[in-house]
A and B are shown apart, each in its own frame.
Chain A
């Protein structure tokens, strides 16, 4: 199996995996970074969202060749101690029910706010439309993104 060098949360990692292995499973099974979740495997639900050079991407549909030379950030690396404004807003608004989708929601929201720090409510809804929350905590997700935007201002 080929060897790959990837950069995850600021550290360089070496993994031996077959070339078709999605980044999602490299993170979860090889690097023990289980915060990134498996939901659908086809880029439809957003539970596996990570940042690639700061952009929100679906790690279930990403090969190692596609991340070559790029920086991966996972929920574990978004901040050292959970202090990122989006993580704090999620706590302030008490968003989660089961909590399974929330890492993906937070990664989508944090990349979005980086590019659009003063979004309208409509823009927030469009940005978060790709992430499924099966418990339907949507109204709180929207509120938390807007709360984080205020704090990042």
Chain B
């Protein structure tokens, strides 16, 4: 049961070694794709080429281990956790391991593959295999020197010991090991998880010293010789396009170098490749180029631009009607259908139907979007925070009519991602500006650009209907009405799919010109809240225990009968059991009101319990107990940080997150009119991880979706009122405790 992964590796497809010119061994390996058939790791470190391999390990002849990670951070901790997995199987002390980001400004540093939220899950086998293979080669080299069988040697923290008790360090034999053939996968033994020494023990974020002392790390911190700054005048609303502009005042302002119109190249690219953000505004934009960021920001304000309606300017009140109309209508795309819901509903004794509503949400990464670009006849150099570098490099090549090998893209640490930096509109903009002015330039979004005319989680409404017959749920119908795009992949097959005989999931979408995209835990970030509130209400109607209702449903699931069902009823029951125990469910004093949720997404199982107390007549979320089964925990401190952050992010957006449009314009442009959760509103979070030996699964997202439902259910317990609309603060009356309750 140590691995439930089906990924298999051919060593020739993903690993090569070479001996370094200065001594030591270099291993090039691939996490996510096979390397080129003829690729070989270089003998000179300055020639590291991430186009051939996407990660490297260097073992120096003094025994020091350096892991060159080309996949930077968006805050999810992989830059620490991924090297820990290698170090574990390589069997070296964590303190002897250095993690290096692939260097900036090297000609050879090209496109990398971003791991996304599944980095650890997908990297798990490759990282362990690489560490273990290197270890075996080192042991073979030592055994050859001693003239003994490799099988008799043992390793601990980089020291090899033979049966006679003689020892050799990795550094002593690394030059010989580098000359050996890479052993076949079957020869390489992976550790039993019980023997882990590094994994399962907390390691502090590898960038901690740079973060706490303010060293340049992020895209916004990047500087290059001769670099200028650009701020873009963007349409004031979705659906508007530029007619004309007057830049005479702006050009007179201090530091202003140039003012250029861009947009033509993006439009040509979209015509050719609509796969990239066909909803992206096709309007021209005006780029103000200046010597400093502030000068560019100021001069941008001095541009007098005229806009006209291009497509319909849309408003939230129209969307509300449209989405409700979709839910009331009959035009759906059916994503899963079991049995016959219509027939079953006709036989139901009772029916519960509820509609749940969620708004658009900006991502609000604290580091505003930005990207550096320099275009010369020789190459196109791009640097900055982007989650999808290979895709964007390809688009830039296409847009500028360049050979893909001319595009050199480097990633920086990212000041938050949350899905926003998957989109990459800012990379395309920077390239178009740089091509127009032929100077190294960094495009910087103001917060107003970022929040006010950006990319959003789509507004979505769900309608859920359940039928009850003879005290059991006999039919379940989930309908989705979404702006632009609805739920995807296996989401329609998440719990309670498989547990109810007559079951159907339908989705309908409305094409809007407002740009939407993935937002942390796409779709499930609100779906979990809606469904789990519904279960709570269903249990009340059925007069059954809320947790027993869920356990009974799980008993009916046979995951082997349907390959689309990927959640495990057993693992789900376990997180429920532990959450009940750890949260003191049902045993709290009468002033503590609890809400329960269990959920599966991103291959992980989570249960959460929210504790609400009444303060000054209002319910306040005091604590969330969060139980997670995400398999083996590589780095406990990093894992707990992700889990806690996900819960608080989920509570914050469910409580306060709101973004509405009127005439195509967002109601907020900055944090003065957009509320994010802050310190005083943060509940205590108690996190428990289930200990098991399953391969690791997602953790950056799965604790967020249940949080909204857990607090909604706790609020109901406290106030007697159900919440159907996020954010929960939208209607303050629903968060008031009835008078008699306070007196009582």
Enumerate chain A interface residues (CB-CB to B < 8 A): 1, 17-18, 20-22, 25, 28-30, 32-42, 44-45, 47, 74-76, 78-79, 81-82, 87, 90-91, 94, 96-103, 106, 125-126, 128-142
Q: Check: B685 CB closer than 8 A to any chain A CB.
A: yes
Q: Check: B641 CB closer than 8 A to any chain A CB.
A: yes
**Quick one: which of A42, A82, A135 contacts B416, CB cutoff 8 A?**
A135
Q: Scan residues 414-454 of chain B and give those whose CB is less than 8 A from a CB of chain A.
A: 414-418, 446-447
Q: Check: B730 CB closer than 8 A to any chain A CB.
A: no
In whole Å, how far is A27's beta carbon from the nearest beta carbon of chain B?
A: 10
Interface centre among A30, A38, A47 (most CB of B within 10 A): A38
Task: Please state if A35 and B77 are interface contacts (CB–CB under 8 Å).
Answer: no
Complex Cα spacing A1 to B446, Å: 24
Q: A40-B447, A99-B207, A125-B680 are in contact. Are A106 and B212 (CB under 8 A)?
A: yes
Interface centre among A1, A39, A81, A90 (most CB of B within 10 A): A39
Task: Please state if B214 and A76 are interface contacts (CB–CB under 8 Å).
Answer: yes
Task: Please state if B685 and A99 are interface contacts (CB–CB under 8 Å).
Answer: no
Closest chain B residue, CB of each to CB of A103:
B214
Q: Check: B75 CB closer than 8 A to any chain A CB.
A: yes
Enumerate chain B interface residues (CB-CB to A < 8 A): 73-77, 202, 204-205, 207-209, 211-218, 220-221, 223, 229, 254-255, 292-295, 297-298, 364-368, 413-418, 446-447, 637-638, 641-642, 644-649, 652, 670-672, 676-680, 682, 684-685
Complex Cα spacing A105 to B645, Å: 16
User: Which chain B residues border A44 with CB–CB below 8 Å?
Assistant: 670-672
**Quick one: which of A94, A97, A102 contacts B202, CB cutoff 8 A?**
A94
In whole Å, how far is B518's beta carbon from the nearest beta carbon of chain A?
A: 16
In whole Å, how far is B89's beta carbon from the nearest beta carbon of chain A?
A: 24
Closest chain B residue, CB of each to CB of A91:
B208
Task: Please state if A94 and B366 are interface contacts (CB–CB under 8 Å).
Answer: no
Q: A30-B292, A99-B413, A106-B212 are in contact. Are A137 and B645 (CB under 8 A)?
A: yes
12 more contacts with CB within 8 A, not counting A91-B212, A100-B415, A136-B644, are: A34-B214, A78-B213, A91-B208, A98-B74, A125-B680, A128-B679, A129-B678, A129-B680, A131-B678, A134-B416, A136-B647, A139-B684
User: Which chain B residues border A35 with CB–CB below 8 Å?
Assistant: 213-215
Task: Please state if B637 and A136 are interface contacts (CB–CB under 8 Å).
Answer: no
Task: Please state if B645 and A97 are interface contacts (CB–CB under 8 Å).
Answer: yes
Complex Cα spacing A146 to B285, Å: 48
Closest chain B residue, CB of each to CB of A84:
B212
Closest 3 CB pairs of A and B: A35-B214, A98-B75, A100-B415
Complex Cα spacing A41 to B452, Å: 14
User: Which chain B residues border A141 with CB–CB below 8 Å?
Assistant: 679
User: Which chain A residues border B644 with CB–CB below 8 Å?
Assistant: 136-137, 139-140
User: Which chain A residues border B77 with CB–CB below 8 Å?
Assistant: 97
In whole Å, how far is B662's beta carbon from the nearest beta carbon of chain A?
A: 21
**Quick one: which of B212, B223, B446 contacts A82, CB cutoff 8 A?**
B212
Q: List 27 A-B contacts (CB under 8 A).
A: A35-B215, A38-B368, A40-B447, A40-B671, A41-B447, A44-B671, A47-B366, A79-B213, A81-B213, A91-B212, A96-B207, A96-B208, A98-B73, A99-B73, A99-B205, A100-B218, A100-B366, A102-B211, A129-B680, A135-B416, A135-B649, A136-B652, A137-B641, A137-B644, A138-B682, A139-B684, A140-B644
Task: Please state if B213 and A82 are interface contacts (CB–CB under 8 Å).
Answer: yes
User: Which chain B residues border A74 with CB–CB below 8 Å?
Assistant: 214
Complex Cα spacing A39 to B448, Å: 10
In whole Å, how far is A53's beta carbon from the nearest beta carbon of chain B?
A: 20
User: Which chain A residues border B641 with CB–CB below 8 Å?
Assistant: 94, 97, 137, 140
**Quick one: which of B255, B294, B416, B684 contacts A98, CB cutoff 8 A?**
B416
Complex Cα spacing A42 to B641, Å: 29
Task: Please state if A134 and B680 are interface contacts (CB–CB under 8 Å).
Answer: no
**Quick one: which of B76, B218, B366, B671 contacts A42, CB cutoff 8 A?**
B671
Task: Please state if A134 and B209 are interface contacts (CB–CB under 8 Å).
Answer: no
In whole Å, how far is A128's beta carbon from the nearest beta carbon of chain B?
A: 5
User: Which chain A residues border B652 with CB–CB below 8 Å?
Assistant: 136
Complex Cα spacing A32 to B222, Å: 10
Task: Please state if B671 and A82 are interface contacts (CB–CB under 8 Å).
Answer: no
User: Which chain B residues border A79 with CB–CB below 8 Å?
Assistant: 213
Q: A40-B447, A134-B364 are in contact. Are A139 and B682 (CB under 8 A)?
A: yes
Complex Cα spacing A36 to B418, Å: 22
Task: Please state if A97 and B684 are interface contacts (CB–CB under 8 Å).
Answer: no
User: Which chain A residues border B368 with CB–CB below 8 Å?
Assistant: 38-39
Closest chain B residue, CB of each to CB of A77:
B214
Closest chain B residue, CB of each to CB of A106:
B212
User: Which chain B residues border A37 with CB–CB below 8 Å?
Assistant: 218, 220, 366-367, 415
Complex Cα spacing A113 to B418, Å: 32
In whole Å, how far is A5's beta carbon from the nearest beta carbon of chain B?
A: 19
**Quick one: which of A75, A76, A96 contacts B205, CB cutoff 8 A?**
A96
Complex Cα spacing A139 to B368, Å: 24
User: Which chain B residues border A78 with CB–CB below 8 Å?
Assistant: 213
Task: Please state if B414 and A98 are interface contacts (CB–CB under 8 Å).
Answer: yes
Complex Cα spacing A112 to B122, Å: 43
In whole Å, how far is A126's beta carbon from the nearest beta carbon of chain B?
A: 7
Task: Please state if A99 and B648 are interface contacts (CB–CB under 8 Å).
Answer: no
User: Which chain A residues border B682 with CB–CB below 8 Å?
Assistant: 125, 136, 138-139, 142
Closest chain B residue, CB of each to CB of A45:
B671
Complex Cα spacing A116 to B293, Å: 36
Task: Please state if B680 and A98 are interface contacts (CB–CB under 8 Å).
Answer: no
Closest chain A residue, CB of each to CB of B77:
A97
Complex Cα spacing A104 to B73, Å: 19
In whole Å, how far is B116's beta carbon from the nearest beta carbon of chain A?
A: 15
In whole Å, how far is A2's beta carbon from the nearest beta carbon of chain B?
A: 11
Complex Cα spacing A86 to B144, Å: 52
In whole Å, how far is A29's beta carbon from the nearest beta carbon of chain B?
A: 4
Closest chain A residue, CB of each to CB of B637:
A94
Complex Cα spacing A106 to B76, Å: 20
Complex Cα spacing A137 to B418, Å: 14
Task: Please state if A132 and B415 are interface contacts (CB–CB under 8 Å).
Answer: no
In whole Å, how far is B148's beta carbon from the nearest beta carbon of chain A?
A: 43
Task: Please state if A134 and B365 are interface contacts (CB–CB under 8 Å).
Answer: yes
Task: Please state if B76 and A97 are interface contacts (CB–CB under 8 Å).
Answer: yes
Task: Please state if A90 and B212 are interface contacts (CB–CB under 8 Å).
Answer: yes
Closest chain A residue, CB of each to CB of B644:
A139
Q: A39-B366, A129-B680 are in contact. Are A22 and B223 (CB under 8 A)?
A: no
Complex Cα spacing A35 to B216, Å: 7
Task: Please state if B75 and A32 are interface contacts (CB–CB under 8 Å).
Answer: no
Complex Cα spacing A96 to B647, Å: 16
User: Which chain A residues border B218 with CB–CB below 8 Å?
Assistant: 37, 100
Task: Please state if A99 and B676 are interface contacts (CB–CB under 8 Å).
Answer: no
